[in-house]
Amino acid sequence: MKLWVNKTPGIHQIDNNYCYPFTTYVLPDELSGHPFNQDFLPCPHKIKPYYPGRSVGGATAVYRAGALGDAIMATGIIRYLVEKSGGIVDVYAPARNLTLYGGLGARMLPLPPTAGAWDAYDAHVPLDDLFSGKVMGTELGTGPGNFFDRVYRWMGAETDEVKVEAEIIRCIRSVHEVAQSTKGEHK
């Protein structure tokens, strides 16, 4: 993740959101073309790591850019946070993936958040960085074993691999069922 200041005179669109001049945004590292490759800095110092009890009565931000497979992998973690965090869970994700999180009980917001909005959260779960291993020197995105286990350990949560894997399978089945039910409707 990186902080980017829009120092251009124009408004830039990222996904379904507009980035206005002289405003700072939290962007995924994958955005590297012009103008996002200028006036930015890495922001691991802006992450308040989630742990049980940190956001009770407050709010947790989950940040997940990426493709469909990455979005599906994040559903189990989002469901866990909705059930266990004791506060509101906001998910920042590409607009095309927001419907995947629809029934989980989280509030869904298109990327990118402003730096001010990001700072207002009590806790953060930056899944982009956790999957790639870039959060405060962690190596959660790499190595052997189940990456969900590594993310839950980073959050200080109890893990139950069977429950997590069952959630992934349920989500994949749901996506498959929707795809099958709409097959041939877009001719």
Q: Which residues of 102-125 are buried (b: 16+ CB within 10 A; e: fewer)?
A: eebebebbbbbbebeebeebbbbb
Q: pLDDT truncated to tens, each residue of the chain (187 aa)? A: 788 898 888 898 887 788 899 999 888 777 777 887 788 888 777 888 888 888 889 999 998 877 777 778 788 888 888 988 889 999 998 888 888 888 889 999 988 899 999 999 999 888 775 655 555 555 555 555 566 666 766 666 665 555 656 666 666 666 667 667 666 554 4
Cα 8 from Cα 6, distance rounded (Å): 5
First vs last C-alpha separation in the chain: 39
Distances 138 to 43, 92, 130, 135, 162 between C-alpha atoms, Å: 14, 22, 8, 5, 24
Query: In terms of pTM, does the model score above 0.95?
Result: no
Question: In 10 A of CB 169, how many CB atoms?
Answer: 10
Cα 54 from Cα 42, distance rounded (Å): 24
From 3.40.30, 3.40.50, 2.40.128, 3.40.1130, which CATH number describes the 59-180 domain? 3.40.50
pLDDT tens for 77-130 read 888 889 888 899 999 988 888 888 888 899 999 888 999 999 999 998 887 756
So where are the chain's domains? Answer: 2-42, 59-180
Does the N-terminal peptide bond of residue 112 adopt cis geometry, omega within 30 degrees of 0?
A: yes
